[in-house]
A = this chain, B = another copy of it.
Amino acid sequence: MKTDIEIARAAPKKPIGEIGEALGIPAEALLPYGHDKAKVGQAFIDGLAGRPDGKLILVTAVNPTPAGEGKTTTTVGLGDGLNAIGRRAVVCIREASLGPNFGMKGGAAGGGHAQVVPMEDMNLHFTGDFHAITSAHSLLSAMIDNHVHWGNEEGIDVRRVQWRRVVDMNDRALRQVTVGLGGVANGFPREGGFDITVASEVMACLCLARDLKDLERRLGDMIVAYRRDRSPVFCRDIKADGAMTVLLKDAMQPNLVQTLENNPAFVHGGPFANIAHGCNSVIATRTALKLADYVVTEAGFGADLGAEKFMNIKCRLAGLAPSAVVLVATVRAMKMNGGVAKADLGAKDVEAVRRGCANLGRHIENVKGFGVPVVVAINHFSGDADAEVEAVRAFAETQGTEAIVSRHWAEGGRGAEALARRVAAIADADVANFAPLYPDDMPLFEKVETVAKRIYRADEVLADKKVRDQLRLWEEQGYGHLPVCMAKTQYSFSTDPNLRGAPTNHSVPVREVRLSAGAGFVVVVCGEIMTMPGLPRVPSAESIRLNDAGEVEGLF
């Protein structure tokens, strides 16, 4: 059997100009990066404003196994399937982070016969967007300490600098550092630390901004520190917002690539799915909606996190409304949710699948709660027993929801045609009546409770006085209208990764809250979150190299 990278390398790519042309993008509006990648020019995007929008389809998933359930693969497969049945569809997914690829084996864009190419580039520098974000973030970092060094006119309390530095690499030694050592010329010593670039608020701002003006405003709104009187110091006060926008002007333009079947895909932006909202950029999604009849996109983690944030953050802030949701389920994930240990997932166990379907059922109910019709895609794995697959299908039917087996991994778009037909029919029927889960003017803590009770089915939210006071203070400062961005484990509806299935009688403890005033949400941390990963004992980097044919080995 061929590996993903072998399939990807064997696929004949079309020149990116032809992919753009098929979408109606003229050659001069495409900024090529090599022959198989291009950015779509801002002026062309501006000119699309008057056009009607296509249908937006979200691909999300049940609570996953550690290997993932193939959300991206299904997103790509559905896109190809829609094109295969003669519909004009574009796929919108996130860009990959560079650093983690050097820790564990990387990061493909889909898998099997449902992939986006060029895969090597997408797992390395791609079009440089993340480097631009790192640069913009680093400029602000330097300007903050430089401001303090030269007199600190804004009165920054150096003990309360919120802005951490970033690097796009898994570098555990940088998690906590002391900077400014070495004497007068190097500034004032203080504690600080580095996150990985995808965790930068600059990333979240870029992904939620409508255009460069909106981006500049969001960057300016970011809080970088507090004064002794606890009043916030904004990025705008440090006067970094203009130059950061200049550094991001190319990165703000969506990247066009293609699927293995030469259908268009936008790959743009990649905010962390925990301390940020985990969706591709608003500008890519909005541009795609102007160019295609169907836009298939995905959100990070399971539907309890990804779909919830997609609806309550991205759609709310960008004025988007999905027409349908595809909920990806696998036999393996149902077994795991049914209590089977990871090592035993390969063995046939129909009863476990049936037990695990409780997880699927709750996700179906949750998604319907947003007013959007849902269809279940059973992402078919070669080891799945027919009876197991049938158990999932039959369960979905009991929930009033169709479940369709999709074989895009093995067969590409052709294998997803049945799914594509059903999704197109639902979207065309215009039955969605989307609404976010809570209104803007609900108090922040009530927003947290709403998500915890209605999505996680928790009994209560536990938060100490400090957290509650902080939320109230932000409300007083004018941030009460923001949505909340939940950070919790992806493996359970609850905050305990071992509580599989559809747990009840649990509580959601809030450890900490953080304000992303530029991106426009309040991060609610329920558990440990890691904003700077480390490398393992034997990093995959040790075996990554160019072979004699000039091909990358060991990255995939």
Contact = CB atoms under 8 A, between A and B. Distances in A.
A127 to B, nearest CB: 8
Contact of A167 (B138, B150, B242): B138
B181 A125 contact: no
Interface in A524-556: 534-535, 537, 539, 541-546, 550, 552, 554-555
A550 B151 CA distance: 33
Contacts of A358: none
Contact of A135 (B125, B174, B193, B555): B125
A243 B545 CA distance: 5
Contacts of A443: none
A546 B212 contact: yes
B128 A145 contact: no
A423 interface: no
A413 to B, nearest CB: 28
A539 B135 contact: no
Contact of A534 (B146, B179, B239): B146
Nearest to A167: B138
Interface string A159-186: 0000000011111111111111110011
A149 B99 CA distance: 18
B150 A173 contact: no
A39 to B, nearest CB: 8
Contacts of A128: 125, 128, 131
B212 A143 contact: no
A44 interface: no
Interface stretch (A4-12, A29-37, A490-498): A29-37
Interface stretch (A245-253, A310-318, A333-341, A392-400): A245-253
Given A28-B35, A31-B34, A138-B168, 13 more contacts: A32-B32, A102-B243, A124-B246, A131-B131, A139-B541, A143-B539, A146-B171, A146-B534, A149-B172, A172-B187, A174-B179, A239-B542, A249-B552
21 contacts: A32-B33, A32-B35, A102-B142, A125-B135, A135-B169, A138-B167, A141-B169, A141-B171, A142-B172, A143-B535, A172-B180, A172-B185, A173-B180, A175-B181, A176-B181, A239-B541, A242-B543, A242-B545, A243-B545, A246-B545, A249-B550
